[in-house]
Amino acid sequence: MVRAAARIFLTSWIALAGAGVVHAKELAAYRAGDVAEADIATPVALDVVNPEATAARTAAAAKIPAIFCDFPHAATNAMVAEFQSAFAATRARFLAAIAQSYHKPVLDAAAIGSTDFSALVTNFNAQSKTFPVPTELAAQWARGADGLETQTAVLGRLLQIMRRPVHADEFPAGFILGDKARFVAVSQPDETPSLAAATQGGKLIAATNLTTLARLRMLFRHGFPKTDQAYASALAEFLQPVCAPAVAVTQAAREQAGRDLAITDHYAAGQTIVRRGAVLDAKALAALEQLAQKAPTPVVGNAAAVAAREVFVPARSYELWLLAALVVVSLVSFASIFLTWRSLGLRREIAAAVPVRVESSATGTSGATPIDQAVKAAVVQELAAMRVELAKTQPSTTNKPLATNGHADKSADTLMVNMHEHCLAGLLAEGQALLAANELEKALKCYDTVLTLHPDHAEAFVKMGSVLEKLGRNDEAFASYDCAIAVDDSMTVAYLHKGGLCNRLARYEEATRCYEKALLKPEQHPA
């Protein structure tokens, strides 16, 4: 009985203490989609930022195209000058190496075809990593030719691939590209256009047409045979960005378009913010959040008509009544406990002289109340569930013998190869799924990653070409198909894709040639 009286006292105290908050749901407890339990009004004036309207205006400002400075002429002129200077310097050093080895500036055909000349070219390229010389160009210089035709051809390839809108690999921190970009012509890379020129002039292009410098260099390298990859890599380093993001101008343009983004709702003192039964949206939650900060005791229900200066008077009366009720309940509970204790004491004195037999309950637990038994059962069930879960997650303790010496190395090598192949297969599958879902930029990144891990993966080049086709970047799609053919000229699907693109662009003769090559057997393709 003492325990029952104590529980009654504790329950009453908690109930009365919580009565101060159950008269109306706390403001901080409301979530989006909840239904208001009562009318809620503000006792003070509020100016609340409307999050829905602000988000809409912010999204509109974010659609302002990113602004790029476009300087193709300055970039190509700098590239040409740098290449010509490097070409001339490399030729001079190579001729000096010939003179030192052969004691004459010009060699005949027999000397050029000898193994000594091949060794000279190999040694020279080992020391000239920034501009290694291919065998054909070395032979031209050895015969006394200036190699001007080769120089012109290489420059043409560099200039042709730099016609794309290529930018640096990484954007500055905080710069957001968006769906479109506005290109504003400038004469030099360090020149910044005015805000008026940037917003009123220039040309708009889709952001998907932009190309990073790393991707451009990769496409350029794969246009060369495998034997000239060192030479191609050196030439690719001459490629430069032809545009750059104008960060400050882009930010100014977006700020100008998004002025007064924060749309404010005004609530007068005593005005109802939320009606009973209304579903709370972002606008209502923002008002309740500010109300909770400025006036923790809002006007609830019929008190909404009370003036702001009278708002807190009922709250004080309510608090005094609550305190008095708590005191009364405490006194009554203590009195009940005391009387129960005295009664039990008298019963124990009477029962001391008479033996008493205690019968066990139906469950076998002497003196246990139904509540105690329920709590015990719940605890036992919870411990059993935790034990089962622990058994499921317990790792196996079986020890396997470790490989030793050469067997360990061979197993490690096999594991690394399997992991590499599994990674490539996973990336290809993910790219195909993204392509089917029309998430083209994400698919393009997958195939870029495959080619970074495996630069000669013909299938990845074909799939990248398919993505580029869908993006409308046909020149890059052609280059990707050509790279696939350069890696594996017996790959029928590469010819079919290239032929299909030619056919759609009304380049019928070229499409016919592609289809004819696709029909050849693998052994009939040129080596």
Helix axes 474-487, 213-221, angle to 10 degrees: 40
More confident residue, 392 or 187: 187
Q: Please give the share of the chain, as a percent, with pLDDT higher than 70.
A: 66
If you average pLDDT over residues 125-137, what whole number do you get? 91
pTM beyond 0.85, yes or no: no
User: Does some domain include residue 344?
Assistant: no
User: Does some domain include residue 336?
Assistant: no
> Which helix (DSSP H) or strand (DSSP E) does residue 318 occupy?
helix 312-351
If you average pLDDT over residues 122-131, what whole number do you get? 92
Helices (H), ranges, 357-473: 370-393, 405-436, 440-453, 458-470
Kindly state the tokens that stand for 79. 């590239």
Q: What is the pLDDT of residue 110?
A: 92
Q: CA 524, CA 291: separation in Å to the nearest integer?
A: 81
Per-chain mean pLDDT for the chain? 77
| Residue entry with tokens 């882009």 | 250
Q: What is the pLDDT of residue 167?
A: 94
Question: Residue 320: which pLDDT band, with cuts at 50, 70 and 90?
Answer: low
More confident residue, 398 or 446: 446
More confident residue, 281 or 421: 281
Question: Residue 408: which pLDDT band, with cuts at 50, 70 and 90?
Answer: very low
Side chain identity at 24, as an amino acid letter?
A
Boundary (domain end) residue, out of 221, 255, 289? 255
Task: Report pLDDT digits (tens) over 273-303.
Answer: 888 888 888 888 888 887 887 765 555 554 4
Lowest mean pLDDT among 178-192, 414-428, 463-477: 414-428
Side chain identity at 126, as an amino acid letter?
A
User: Does some domain include residue 351?
Assistant: no
> Which helix (DSSP H) or strand (DSSP E) does residue 273 occupy?
strand 272-274
Kindly state the tokens that stand for 314. 């009922």
Question: Residue 85: which pLDDT band, with cuts at 50, 70 and 90?
Answer: very high
Q: What is the pLDDT of residue 152?
A: 93
User: Does some domain include residue 333?
Assistant: no
For residue 455, what is the domain's CATH number? Answer: 1.25.40.10
Boundary (domain end) residue, out of 255, 289, 314? 255
Task: Report pLDDT digits (tens) over 197-224.
Answer: 887 778 888 989 999 999 999 999 998 9
Lowest mean pLDDT among 1-5, 29-33, 332-336: 1-5
Q: Please give the share of the chain, as a percent, with pLDDT higher than 90.
A: 33
Question: Residue 98: which pLDDT band, with cuts at 50, 70 and 90?
Answer: very high
Q: CA 511, CA 495: separation in Å to the nearest integer?
A: 9
What is the DSSP-derived secondary structure letter of residue 403?
A: P
Q: Give the domain extent around 120.
A: 66-255
Q: Residue 439 pLDDT > 60, yes or no? A: yes
Number of independent structural domains in the chain: 2
Q: What is the pLDDT of residue 286?
A: 83
Q: Which residues contact 368 (CB under 8 A, 6 or more apart)?
A: 361, 376
If you average pLDDT over residues 45-66, what whole number do you get? 74
Task: Report pLDDT digits (tens) over 161-186.
Answer: 999 999 999 999 888 888 889 999 99
Question: Residue 391: which pLDDT band, with cuts at 50, 70 and 90?
Answer: low
Task: Report pLDDT digits (tens) over 475-507.
Answer: 999 999 999 898 888 888 999 999 899 988 989
More confident residue, 37 or 326: 37
Boundary (domain end) residue, out of 255, 290, 311? 255
User: Does some domain include residue 378?
Assistant: no
Q: CA 523, CA 374: separation in Å to the nearest integer?
A: 81
Q: What is the pLDDT of residue 111?
A: 92
Positive or negative, the Cα torsion across 121, 122, 128, 131?
positive
Q: CA 133, CA 136: separation in Å to the nearest integer?
A: 8
> Which helix (DSSP H) or strand (DSSP E) does residue 498 occupy?
helix 492-504
Residue 269 three-state SS? coil
Residue 227 to residues 131, 380, 420, Cα–Cα distance (Å): 15, 74, 25
Q: What is the pLDDT of residue 156?
A: 93
Question: Residue 237: which pLDDT band, with cuts at 50, 70 and 90?
Answer: very high
User: Does some domain include residue 397?
Assistant: no
Kindly state the tokens that stand for 372. 């105690």
